[in-house]
Chain A
Amino acid sequence: MTTIPISWYLAVAAVLFTIGTVTVFVKRNAIVMLLGIELMLNAANLTLVTFSSYFRELAGQIMVFFVMVVAAAEAAVGLAIVVLLFRHRETLNVDEAQLLKL
């Protein structure tokens, strides 16, 4: 049985990370930007798991649990902020949040 080489996994992760980064840059909807960030975090997770199974040790996989927990906590706070903004503004477009000039 041939196994898939490690570089393929890493390439997929790198592509995912790039897609996530581009999403954050291009999209202007706060929720979609959040999705892009989740994608980036999951790309990092995939990389960690790949190396972990390649090295035959657990450290990387345990790190993934930490990342997942942190991502969940971050999403909870982030969505609360987005909901609050939506109540006042009735829009999710971050470009409209321009009281403070960038």
Chain B
Amino acid sequence: MEWLGISYRAIGPELVLAVTGVLVMLLEAFSPGKKRRDGILAAAGTILAGVVALTLWDEGPRLAFSRMIIVDGFRVFFTLVILLGTLLTIFISWTFLDEERIPPGEYFALLLFGAVGMTLLVASNDLVMVFLALETITIATYVLAGYRREDLRSMESALKYFILGAFSSAFLVYGIALVYGATRTTNLAEMARLVSGSLGRAEVVLLMAGVAMLLIGFGFKVATVPFHVWTPDVYEGAPTPVTAFLSTAPKAAGFAAFLRVFSLTFAPLGIESVADQLAAHWVAVVTAMSILSMTFGNFIAIAQTNIKRMLAYSSIAHAGYVLIGVLARDWAAVAFYLLVYTIMNLGCFAIVALWARRGDERVLIVDYAGLGFRQPMLSFPLAIFLVSLAGFPGTAGFIAKFWLFKSAWGAGFPELVLIGVLNTVVSVYYYLYVVIVMFFREPREEVARVPLSRAFVATLVVTVVGVFYLGLLPTRVFAILNAAQSLLAVGMR
């Protein structure tokens, strides 16, 4: 069976996650309601998957399963980012599950199944795999978004997420069909080889249409303007730990696939080829998407009164920044940005989830008034995360933005860098507004302190340390990423 390229090692992390997910679900069926056991098992599975992913690090680019799965540094790094996001989400959900009296087994299992889809998406080297992995993610997350069944907001969020998600999937599938018609293959490596030459006129037209459809599909999945309409509603209505998950891990996975398809497969080569013809168009469209996402996201975020909606618009703006990296075709910068974003955003949402309490009672920005010195364990970390999201020097957010803008400048997108920097300045306003409300406004009524669970403290420690470590001593991670990038460049063509 060597020719099929079956290699269980190549899908090790996914196997571990899937088996853990099934195990958690089975345990729940036979002895329900044991949150501690299910949660620890899910966390252990996630960590084990991370260890297995690390063992794949040194295996240079290689393909498995009929060239459907790729093993390289790019994949391993993104897998680790996703697993970190999943692990922290499990911690964040700890208090939430108690308060909402939600059966923990299915919840953790769905998180793990979603993570399987994400890690597979990062590993896919074929459009069929991209489609399947994306659907695994979205179907698991539709259910998670509607998890608070008694709450109309949660149901509405699930409905909107579902209809727009399925709609965008249809675009993606149609795009894949057209690209298949033009190139006779769905394999990305094969496609990269084909588009580096020339094709017939009809094929080029089909390919253009197909790539446009793919762009729409991906645009929806990573929530960029003008395909962002679902984001604020879904983020506001979904249970807060789920929102934390949705805004980080699937985004990292979506951008990884975006990079794989656009920045690596349809990359301009600087010679007379189909790829360059295509790139002339997609680069223009993605530039527009990036500018619109940054500007729209930041300006609308200013007007928000609900902190979850504000963070939703902020995530749209951050997607715009990441697109700059996609255009610069520097996947290491994008990977670093997404790692940093995952850490600071999850930290932010951990506090928002805890403060919101049962049934999302306190999610308005004014509800944070007076939090500052009354419960510094919540307010100081939140201030750190917000400042990092805004990109202040000394925090990880600054380094991530700096690297992204630097590589975009080098790749010849100075106007995008300029717009990005201006937008960063705008974003400072609404991030700092929350900090000001926390520390300098008196609360409308005296509120009781919120008890902190051990899982929550662990989340805070990991995220705060992460923000400062990557902000002050990023060289080690830089070196790792650069090594992986040069290895990938050798293997691709």
Binding site for B on A (CB under 8 A): 10, 13, 17, 20, 24, 30, 33-34, 37, 40-41, 43-45, 47-48, 50-51, 55, 57, 59-60, 63, 66-67, 70, 73-74, 77-78, 81-82, 84-85, 88-89, 94, 97-102
B157 sits at the interface (CB 8 A): yes
Interface residues of B in 134-161 (CB under 8 A from A): 135, 138-139, 142-143, 146, 149, 152-153, 155-160
Which A-B residue pairs are the 5 nearest by beta carbons?
Answer: A40-B170, A47-B177, A44-B173, A51-B181, A44-B174
Nearest Cβ on chain A to B182's Cβ, whole angstroms: 9
B173–A67 touching, CB < 8 Å: yes
Q: List 7 contacting pairs A-B, 8 Å CB cutoff, sorted by A.
A: A63-B186, A77-B142, A78-B163, A85-B156, A85-B159, A97-B156, A99-B152
Provided the pairs A43-B174, A66-B128 are in contact, do residues A102 and B229 lie with their beta carbons within 8 angstroms? yes
B155–A94 touching, CB < 8 Å: no
Partner pick for A100 among B146, B153, B162, B171, CB 8 A cutoff: B153
Which B residues are in CB contact (< 8 Å) with A48? 176-177, 180
What's the Cα separation between A89 and B159 when bound, in Å?
Answer: 13
B109 sits at the interface (CB 8 A): no
B131 sits at the interface (CB 8 A): yes
B180–A63 touching, CB < 8 Å: yes
Nearest Cβ on chain A to B157's Cβ, whole angstroms: 7
Which A residues are in CB contact (< 8 Å) with B169? 41, 70, 74
Which A residues are in CB contact (< 8 Å) with B167? 24, 37, 40
B237 sits at the interface (CB 8 A): yes
Which A residues are in CB contact (< 8 Å) with B160? 94, 97, 100
Nearest Cβ on chain A to B148's Cβ, whole angstroms: 11
B178 sits at the interface (CB 8 A): yes
A99–B186 touching, CB < 8 Å: no
A81–B158 touching, CB < 8 Å: yes
A44–B132 touching, CB < 8 Å: no
A77–B162 touching, CB < 8 Å: yes
Which A residues are in CB contact (< 8 Å) with B138? 74
Nearest Cβ on chain B to A62's Cβ, whole angstroms: 8
B174–A40 touching, CB < 8 Å: yes
Nearest Cβ on chain B to A9's Cβ, whole angstroms: 11
Binding site for A on B (CB under 8 A): 128, 131-132, 135, 138-139, 142-143, 146, 149, 152-153, 155-160, 162-163, 166-167, 169-171, 173-174, 176-178, 180-181, 184-186, 229, 232-233, 236-237
Nearest Cβ on chain A to B79's Cβ, whole angstroms: 23
Nearest Cβ on chain A to B250's Cβ, whole angstroms: 16
B166–A74 touching, CB < 8 Å: yes
Provided the pairs A47-B174, A81-B162 are in contact, do residues A88 and B152 lie with their beta carbons within 8 angstroms? yes
A85–B163 touching, CB < 8 Å: no
B131–A70 touching, CB < 8 Å: yes
What's the Cα separation between A70 and B169 when bound, in Å?
Answer: 10
Which B residues are in CB contact (< 8 Å) with A47? 174, 177-178, 181
Nearest Cβ on chain B to A24's Cβ, whole angstroms: 6
Beyond A74-B139, A89-B152, A97-B156, 20 extra complex contacts between A and B, CB < 8 Å: A24-B167, A30-B159, A34-B163, A37-B170, A41-B169, A43-B174, A44-B177, A45-B177, A48-B180, A57-B184, A59-B180, A59-B185, A66-B128, A66-B132, A67-B173, A82-B159, A88-B155, A94-B163, A100-B157, A102-B233
Nearest Cβ on chain B to A95's Cβ, whole angstroms: 11
Provided the pairs A40-B174, A63-B128, A77-B139 are in contact, do residues A100 and B156 lie with their beta carbons within 8 angstroms? yes
B152–A81 touching, CB < 8 Å: no
Instruction: Select the residue from A43, A44, A48, A98 with max chain B CB neighbours within 10 A.
Output: A44
What's the Cα separation between A99 and B167 when bound, in Å?
Answer: 22
Which B residues are in CB contact (< 8 Å) with A43? 174
B184–A81 touching, CB < 8 Å: no
A99–B156 touching, CB < 8 Å: yes
Of all chain B residues, the one with the shortest Cβ separation from A52 is B180
Which A residues are in CB contact (< 8 Å) with B229? 102
What's the Cα separation between A66 and B160 when bound, in Å?
Answer: 24
Nearest Cβ on chain B to A99's Cβ, whole angstroms: 5
Provided the pairs A81-B159, A94-B163 are in contact, do residues A100 and B237 lie with their beta carbons within 8 angstroms? yes
Partner pick for B163 among A24, A73, A98, CB 8 A cutoff: A24
Which A residues are in CB contact (< 8 Å) with B177? 13, 44-45, 47-48, 51, 60, 63
What's the Cα separation between A55 and B185 when bound, in Å?
Answer: 10
Of all chain B residues, the one with the shortest Cβ separation from A60 is B180
Of all chain A residues, the one with the shortest Cβ separation from B185 is A59
